[in-house]
Amino acid sequence: MAATDRTAPDTRGDLPLWTGIARQADYWWTVYRRTWRSSVVSSFLAPLFYVVAMGVILGGFIEGDPDQLEGASSYLAFVVPGLIAAHAMQTAVGETTYPVMGLIKWQKVYDSMLATPLQVSHLVGATLGFVLFRLVTTCAVFTAVLAPFGVYESWWGPFLAFLAQVLTGMAFAGLVYGVTARLQSESAFGLLFRLGVFPLFLFSGAFFPVDNLGGVGSWVARLTPLWHGVNLSRMFALDNVTWWLAGVNVAVLLVLCVLGWSWSVTGLRKRLVS
């Protein structure tokens, strides 16, 4: 379809954002019903086994010193909040790389949607809304399953930690969506995972305190988006909250969500409309 043919539906501006998103609910529900089985292992079972292996089995050999584990009384209590936040990042990245490339390039679902009164912002909003749904369900299951292990120190800890984990995932979702919208080939995803996701997963405080990285390394880790999510999730879970730092963590993640939204909409509009 020619670029000039795509301009009109995107500039009508007569369909409110939430209305446009709601009109795609049946599509995304159909997608989920047809694909949820394929995500059970990667979204729930494998990470749960990973937590058990790292937190329960390996954690049994690590002394639970609160002074060394940021207030956690055991390695399991230390690692669980960080791993769930890191898994939220991985889920968001997974949902905004190949699936979004498919909508743009391979199945061209977005092209067909733009032939209707839907606009680019509606497409981005519905896709990120589906990512939000995936994050909510995944993090909620983890929180419910791990609560009996005694990793939460207060009754409100699981709820605030859960919100921190979802916020972390959404901060990455918008940023990666914007990257995908600008890519012409999926070959760059390998670099994204190898040089972005995996280093963040390993060195943003999920497995060990970032102070172990040394002076420079610890400050570099604290500049990453994932550290803010891991730190926020862990503080709430352990009931060891430094409120000014929690405010900084939340502010950074919210700013990234806003920037990610703008980055995504402008990227998709440039790709499909301009």
Residue 11 has pLDDT above 50, yes or no: no
Residue 1 has pLDDT above 70, yes or no: no
Domain count of the chain?
1
pLDDT tens for each residue of 28-48: 999 988 888 777 766 667 667
The pLDDT value recorded for residue 181 is: 96
**Please, what is the end-to-end C-alpha distance for the chain in angstroms?**
12
Residue 102 has pLDDT above 90, yes or no: yes
Q: How far is CA 50 from the centre of its chain?
A: 18
pLDDT tens for each residue of 158-200: 999 999 999 999 999 999 999 999 999 899 999 999 999 999 9
Q: Where are the alpha helices (DSSP H) in the chain?
A: 3-11, 17-22, 25-35, 40, 46-51, 75-95, 98-101, 109-114, 120-146, 157-182, 188-192, 198-203, 214-222, 225-238, 243-272
194 lies in which domain range? 3-272
Residue 7 has pLDDT above 50, yes or no: no
Please state, in angstroms and rounded to a whole number, the distance separating the CA atoms of residues 115 and 122. Answer: 13
Single pTM value for the model: 0.89
Q: Which residue has the higher pLDDT, 76 or 41?
A: 76
The pLDDT value recorded for residue 60 is: 61
